[in-house]
Structures are given as structure tokens and as C-alpha cells.
């Protein structure tokens, strides 16, 4: 019987982590909530879609993304804890952000005032500036990819 991505991820990560739930899905990857049993903390795990993980160039692109994120040190950019592969999956683990996407927040509460929008935009722009200074370009800035803390 074929196992789900969640089940395969649990096997790949081993007994130290519980895979709690799918928290997001995009064109190239899914993000799962994890529980680190040793350190009693929530984490997030980005898993490249298995059906595209091993296509030419995709694995290299995903690993390059993880390496690029690992080089960036900015409060608005999530750190990478570790990368891995197993059970036919390729993934990286990062902090869990409590909150919702900017897109969800906008749908729920409507547009922001100019002052509120600037408060949200400033750390994003600082993070992008930091990334650009390192020679990196995000290529997918949109409200769905911006987390707003609760």
C-alpha cells in the first residue's frame, strides 16, 4: 500500500519528530508542522513534491534554496535547521511561525491603512535588501508567502 507524504516524512525524520499536519501547499512543495520531541518545540518542514523532486534540475534548485536561506541572517528570514532526504522525499526543517499568511489576514480583515502597511512592509524590505546584498533574489514575494505573527 502506498504511504502518504506525511507518513513517508515521519519515517524519513525518524522517532525524534512527530509530523502533526499539513499547513501549506504550493506548486513545488508542501509544508508540514512538526513536533521536536527532544526540545519540546514546533518546527516546520518544507518537502519538495515527490513527483517532481527527482526531475532534472529540481533537486539542485531545492538544495540551492536551502543553502541560500542558511546563509541569510535576518530576523524576517526563517533559519534552516537542517536538510535531509529519505523515503523518496527531499526536505528542510525550519522554525514554525505562529500566525497566518498576509493573504489570509487581508481576506479576514480587509486592507491595511498606509501606516499599518508600512509597518508590515519595512521588515520585508529589509530582509529583501539583505538577500540582495548576498546576491540572492526571492522571485516569489506575494501575500501568501509572507507570515504575519498572531
Q: List residues with catalytic annotation.
A: 140
Q: Could you report how far apart the first and last alpha carbons of the chain are, in Å?
A: 40
d(CA 15, CA 9): 11
CB 19 within 8 A of CB 10: yes
d(CA 65, CA 80): 10
C-alpha cell at 101: 499568511
Amino acid at each position: 500500500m502506498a504511504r502518504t507524504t506525511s507518513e513517508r516524512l515521519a519515517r524519513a525524520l525518524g522517532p525524534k519528530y512527530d509530523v502533526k499536519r499539513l499547513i501549506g501547499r504550493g506548486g513545488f512543495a508542501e509544508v508540514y508542522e512538526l513536533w521536536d520531541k527532544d526540545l519540546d518545540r514546533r518546527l516546520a518542514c518544507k518537502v519538495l513534491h515527490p513527483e517532481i523532486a527527482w526531475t532534472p534540475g529540481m533537486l539542485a534548485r531545492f538544495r540551492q534554496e536551502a543553502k541560500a536561506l542558511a546563509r541569510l541572517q535576518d530576523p524576517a528570514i526563517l533559519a534552516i535547521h537542517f536538510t535531509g532526504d529519505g523515503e523518496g522525499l527531499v526536505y528542510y526543517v525550519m522554525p514554525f511561525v505562529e500566525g497566518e499568511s498576509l493573504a489570509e489576514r487581508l481576506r479576514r480583515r480587509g486592507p491595511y491603512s498606509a501606516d499599518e502597511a508600512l509597518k508590515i512592509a519595512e521588515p520585508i524590505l529589509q530582509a529583501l535588501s539583505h538577500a540582495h546584498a548576498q546576491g540572492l533574489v526571492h522571485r516569489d514575494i506575494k501575500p501568501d508567502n509572507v507570515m504575519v505573527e498572531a
